[in-house]
């Protein structure tokens, strides 16, 4: 099949490469000429494990190319997958302007019947609005092609995006005609034949809700365990063992029950807000989600409180943040807790420095003049306290001795529960984590 991908970012580029791997003829279009030039050079413009190798393979096979010309991308394809961003607006609703622009582009440049597929995460009823945009544009242009809109939400996770796309837990798509369903069946048939993953076929609105409900539910689990961790802190229980104990129950499971400094990234914060916004808009407020968000924000405050408990004033204190990316395996800083912490600590006068194995350039672009390190040992040297923000392997591998030798004061606040509290405390560190045994009282 001939397929166009519009928006070759974290979702679009991985999807484009996967579709090409399944034997389709794929063209990736982006309105950012610089990204397209990098891709035409054969290089991914962001870091994602295994992506470069997959691109090398499918580009060499002649099944994937890139263009900055929408006419070249959209003419002659059966399906256009919209993978553009849907970032949050002030009121929590997603900005759908990029997606509307894609609908107009498709109406303008299609030269045969085309299925426009929303892969971007969108609120329910976006499909209907996009069909209105296309119908209006076609009337304006004097065209009358069959252009339908389908929903095919994406569930990949940054850091394991290639693996998730090649071996997904499920494929979900929602369509409003047999023709559209057939197009998507043919897109995914090679994957289903090879991998046998389950397919959920439904209508467009249901498919849109599946994505928001999934992310809102996962975020709820994280905030739930973080609230439990607060209780553990007060009663001397260990939240990791609590989560293990809960997780053995087949009805609960262990996934997304890791206490820490909260969820981040480009999806959970915005999707929780967008789903809550939609619920308010349709007259059925989902207050649980407001609380999920509030708990998440308060987790960062907890880290600052723990630092204050040890260091008293933070003004003039050197704090090293270990990890900047919102999770290991990516250089994506969108809504990363470390970015918020950098800002919040700098505001109270702390001298912040940041270690990250892959995201220092992005941190410097965001905070000009910030001291950044690609290597963890010099980052620790002479700092008054270390805060674990991302559980990179290089951070997990740090021993009590590594901290004790390098830090000016032996203070570690572990926002990811990456270390064993007994090992850290027994070695003499003032070690704090989330909902587990921590250094008692104040430093002597």
Ligand X SMILES: NC(=O)c1ccc[n+]([C@@H]2O[C@H](COP(=O)([O-])OP(=O)(O)OC[C@H]3O[C@@H](n4cnc5c(N)ncnc54)[C@H](O)[C@@H]3O)[C@@H](O)[C@H]2O)c1
Centroid of chain to Cα 413: 24
CB 8 to ligand X: min, Å: 6
Residue 90 near residue 19, CB atoms below 8 Å: no
If binding is defined by CB under 6 A, does position 32 make contact with ligand X? yes
| List 48, 148, 154, 233, residue binding ligand X (CB under 6 A) | 154
- Closest residue by Cα to residue 382 from 354, 410, 346: 410
Distance, in Å, from the CA atom of 41 to the CA atom of 52, rounded to the nearest integer, reads 12
If binding is defined by CB under 6 A, does position 262 make contact with ligand X? no
| List 3, 4, 5, 9, residue binding ligand X (CB under 6 A) | 9
Distance, in Å, from the CA atom of 141 to the CA atom of 210, rounded to the nearest integer, reads 35
CB 214 to ligand X: min, Å: 10
If binding is defined by CB under 6 A, does position 395 make contact with ligand X? no
| List 25, 31, 57, 78, residue binding ligand X (CB under 6 A) | 31
Task: Please choose, out of 5-13, 49-57, 140-148, 403-411, the segment that lies near ligand X by the rule CB under 6 A.
Answer: 5-13
If binding is defined by CB under 6 A, does position 327 make contact with ligand X? no
| List 35, 63, 109, 419, residue binding ligand X (CB under 6 A) | 35
If binding is defined by CB under 6 A, does position 83 make contact with ligand X? yes
Please compute Rg for the chain using Cα positions.
24
If binding is defined by CB under 6 A, does position 120 make contact with ligand X? yes
- Any alpha helices (H) in 82-203, and if so which ranges? 97-109, 126-141, 161-166, 178-195
| List 93, 110, 114, 121, residue binding ligand X (CB under 6 A) | 121
Neighbours of 52 (CB within 10 A): 15
Element spanning 34, H or E: helix 33-40
Task: For ligand X, give the closer residue by CB, 334 or 384.
Answer: 334
If binding is defined by CB under 6 A, does position 98 make contact with ligand X? yes
Token pair in block for residue 304: 């600052």
Q: Mention every residue, 6+ apart, whose C-beta is less than 8 A from residue 22.
A: 190, 191, 194
Distance, in Å, from the CA atom of 293 to the CA atom of 305, rounded to the nearest integer, reads 19
Structure-derived torsion over alpha carbons of residues 377, 383, 386, 390, reported in degrees to the nearest 10: -50
Task: Please choose, out of 152-160, 182-190, 277-285, 350-358, the segment that lies near ligand X by the rule CB under 6 A.
Answer: 152-160
CB 112 to ligand X: min, Å: 20
> In which residue are the tokens 């995006």 written?
161
If binding is defined by CB under 6 A, does position 12 make contact with ligand X? yes
Task: Please choose, out of 24-32, 174-182, 188-196, 278-286, the segment that lies near ligand X by the rule CB under 6 A.
Answer: 24-32
Distance, in Å, from the CA atom of 15 to the CA atom of 25, rounded to the nearest integer, reads 12
Task: For ligand X, give the closer residue by CB, 98 or 431.
Answer: 98
Size of interface with ligand X, in residues (CB under 6 A): 26
267 is catalytic: yes
Task: For ligand X, give the closer residue by CB, 81 or 403.
Answer: 81
CB contact burial 20-35 (16+ within 10 A = b; e otherwise): bbbebebbbbbeeeeb
| List 156, 314, 350, 359, residue binding ligand X (CB under 6 A) | 156
Binding site for ligand X (CB under 6 A): 6-12, 29-32, 35, 83-86, 98, 101-102, 120-121, 154, 156, 158, 266-267
Catalytic residue positions, numbered: 267
């Amino acid at each position: 099949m001939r397929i166009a991908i519009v928006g070759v970012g974290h979702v679009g580029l991985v999807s484009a490469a996967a579709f090409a791997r399944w034997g389709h003829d794929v063209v990736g279009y982006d309105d950012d000429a610089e990204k397209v030039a990098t891709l035409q050079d054969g290089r991914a413009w962001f870091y994602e494990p295994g992506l470069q190798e997959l691109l090398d393979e499918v580009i060499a096979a002649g099944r994937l190319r890139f263009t900055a010309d929408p006419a070249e991308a959209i003419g002659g394809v059966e399906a256009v997958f919209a993978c553009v961003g849907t970032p949050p607006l002030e009121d929590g609703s997603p900005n759908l302007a990029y997606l509307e622009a894609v609908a107009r582009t498709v109406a303008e440049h299609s030269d045969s019947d085309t299925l426009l597929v929303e892969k971007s995460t969108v609120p329910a009823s976006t499909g209907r609005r996009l069909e209105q945009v296309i119908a209006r544009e076609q009337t304006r242009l004097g065209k009358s092609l069959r252009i339908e809109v389908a929903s095919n939400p994406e569930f990949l996770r940054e850091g394991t995006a290639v693996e998730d796309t090649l071996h997904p837990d499920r494929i979900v798509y929602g369509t409003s005609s047999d023709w559209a369903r057939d197009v998507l069946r043919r897109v995914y048939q090679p994957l289903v034949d090879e991998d046998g993953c389950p397919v959920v076929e439904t209508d467009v609105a249901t498919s849109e809700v599946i994505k928001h409900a999934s992310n809102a539910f996962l975020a709820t689990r994280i905030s739930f365990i973080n609230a439990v961790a607060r209780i553990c802190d007060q009663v001397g229980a260990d939240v990791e063992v609590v989560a293990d104990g809960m997780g053995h129950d087949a009805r609960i499971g262990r996934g997304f029950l890791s206490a820490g400094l909260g969820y981040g990234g480009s999806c959970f914060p915005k999707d929780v807000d967008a789903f809550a916004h939609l619920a308010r808009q349709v007259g059925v407020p989902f207050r649980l989600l407001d609380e999920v968000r509030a708990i998440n924000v308060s987790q960062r405050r907890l880290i600052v409180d723990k630092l204050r408990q040890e260091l008293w004033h933070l003004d003039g204190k050197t704090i090293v943040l270990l990890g900047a990316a919102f999770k290991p395996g990516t250089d994506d800083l969108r809504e990363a807790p470390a970015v918020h912490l950098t800002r919040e600590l700098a505001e109270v006068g702390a001298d912040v420095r940041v270690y990250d194995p892959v995201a220092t350039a992005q941190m410097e672009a965001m905070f000009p003049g910030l001291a950044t390190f690609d290597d963890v040992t010099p980052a620790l040297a002479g700092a008054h306290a270390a805060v674990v923000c991302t559980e990179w392997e290089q951070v997990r591998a740090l021993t009590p001795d590594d901290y004790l030798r390098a830090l000016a004061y032996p203070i570690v606040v572990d926002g990811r529960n990456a270390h064993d509290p007994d090992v850290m405390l027994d070695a003499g560190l003032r070690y704090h984590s989330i909902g587990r045994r921590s250094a008692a009282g104040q430093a002597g």
